[in-house]
Homo-oligomer: A and B are copies of this chain.
Amino acid sequence: MPPAPQLTIIGLGLIGGSLGMAVRQARLGYQVVGHDLRHEAAGRARKLGAVDRAEWNLPAAVEAADVVVVATPVRAVQSTFRDVAPYLKPGCVVTDTASTKAQVLAWAAEILPPTVSFVGGHPMAGKETSGIDAADATLFGGCVYCITPGERADQDAVERVVSLATGVGAKPFFVDPTEHDSYVAAVSHLPFLLSTALVNVAAQSPAWRDLSRLAASGFRDVSRLASGDPVMHRDICLTNQESILRWLETLGAELSELARQIREGGDELEKSFQMAKQARDLWVASHEGPPGRPARWRCGAHPQ
């Protein structure tokens, strides 16, 4: 029997750890090697069954790898590419899990050797808890998994990443990296910023102690994303500035419009609310899975 192909995960946080668990539990046939700057996280990943082997030396972790998954915060992807580039074997498939794609593809084209294939990836899954202890083999079940192949990626490499996505239960979705970044700015980065702004505005009020007693399930849900990892979200914002700023501006205009409608007290306000309700109810209905199966948007959802 030939030895099992090696899959190396760099960055053993929520996403890297969950991916390792899912790959191992689905028996995709990989020897899973894990690396993390923090040795403690790598040790925990080994104990939790997220990797077959933790390798503290980065060159040693990647030199025999057939697939390398970079699952660090976005801005660390650049330095990780630099660190691993000299050690990748020809034909190696490199992928990532970052929430922004255009910048990552530019770094891959610039830094990775032409002997390897880069295929960008972004599983649309997450929780507001982070780190290896939050990892969960079922995190990707039913989720959309965006795939953005690099220009030099060969077909086999693309298929490898597609198999990896389907193997962990996700649904591959090919998308142009610039479109991806604009879309996720609207449906993922903007909601995070709204959550964060809401919490900061409420918590910085002198009345926060009283306010917080009255905050209930509505506040909890709209503020949930504010509990996410600050470094991850900073990196996302700084590698997707243009799209995020454009959506923030549109959102600001919509809030000003709602303020005007509240001030004037006419019929428009109810219409604005009805329009949102209708769009949101339709979206929820279209994302319900078949009966008896969890809804598509339930993936990675463990509200807290």
Contacts and interface: CB of A to CB of B under 8 A. Distances in A.
A276 B146 CA distance: 29
Nearest to A288: B304
A280 B203 CA distance: 8
How many copies altogether?
Answer: 2
B250 A262 contact: no
Interface in A122-158: 124-126, 143-144, 146
Interface in A238-291: 238, 241, 244-245, 247-252, 254-256, 258-259, 262-263, 265, 269-270, 272-277, 279-281, 283-284, 286-287
A166 interface: no
Contact of A254 (B180, B200, B217, B297): B200
Counting chain A residues whose Cβ lies within 8 A of the other chain, the interface size class is 35 or more
Given A200-B275, A216-B299, A222 B248 contact: no
B201 A254 contact: yes
Contact of A218 (B191, B251, B262, B298): B191
Interface of A: 124-126, 143-144, 146, 173, 175, 179-180, 182-184, 186-188, 190-203, 205, 207-208, 210-228, 230-231, 233-234, 237-238, 241, 244-245, 247-252, 254-256, 258-259, 262-263, 265, 269-270, 272-277, 279-281, 283-284, 286-287, 297-301, 303-304
A218 B205 contact: no
A119 to B, nearest CB: 18
